[in-house]
Structure 1
Amino acid sequence: MPDMKNWYESKAVWGGIVAAGASLAGLLGVDLPDGAGHDLVEALTALAGAIGGLVAVYGRISADKRLK
């Protein structure tokens, strides 16, 4: 597959994580307001992108070989 992305860039993956988390929270007695799941997926997707960018910058700074 030529157009690949990291797992943390997938809204489907984050949606599944949020859905599983919401189910577990419901079992523990925590109620999420309506629409909070969508907002949480958007926030987690943005956070994952930011973390990925920071890791990429750190990787380049800490690398011991130059780019050609």
Structure 2
Amino acid sequence: MTTTKPWYLSRTIWASVVTVLIGAVGLTGLPVDTIDGSSLTDTVVQAVTAFSGLVAIFGRLWASKKIG
């Protein structure tokens, strides 16, 4: 494995974040037995991917210098 990717594109990181959040919510006494962790992780990954795409597009539109 020689290539790298940003941390926010890692499904493992997002699955871990979702797991920690579900655990923390469970500690507060809120019911979490109906939450599907796998589909929640997929939703979070899709949202982060969409957000990073928007940041890239608007970042290029607002850039003040040319690429290359």
TM-score, normalised by the number of residues in structure 1: 0.87
Offset at 1:43? 0.2
Root-mean-square deviation (Å): 1.5
**Partners in 1 of 2:7 and 2:23 — Cα distance?**
21
**CA separation of 1:2 and 1:46: change in aligned 2, threshold 3 A:** same
- 1:31 corresponding residue in structure 2: 31
**Partners in 2 of 1:48 and 1:12 — Cα distance?**
13
- 2:56 corresponding residue in structure 1: 56
Provide the identity percentage: 31
Unmatched 5+ stretches in structure 2: none
Amino acid at match of 1:66: K
**CA separation of 1:27 and 1:10: change in aligned 2, threshold 3 A:** same
Q: Deviations over 1:18-55 (max 9, x none)?
A: 11111111101122215x11111000000000010000
Amino acid at match of 2:9: E
Unmatched 5+ stretches in structure 1: none
**Partners in 1 of 2:6 and 2:48 — Cα distance?**
10
**Partners in 1 of 2:54 and 2:2 — Cα distance?**
25
- 1:7 corresponding residue in structure 2: 7
TM-score, normalised by the number of residues in structure 2: 0.87
Structure 1: which 4+ aligned runs deviate by more than 4 Å?
Answer: none
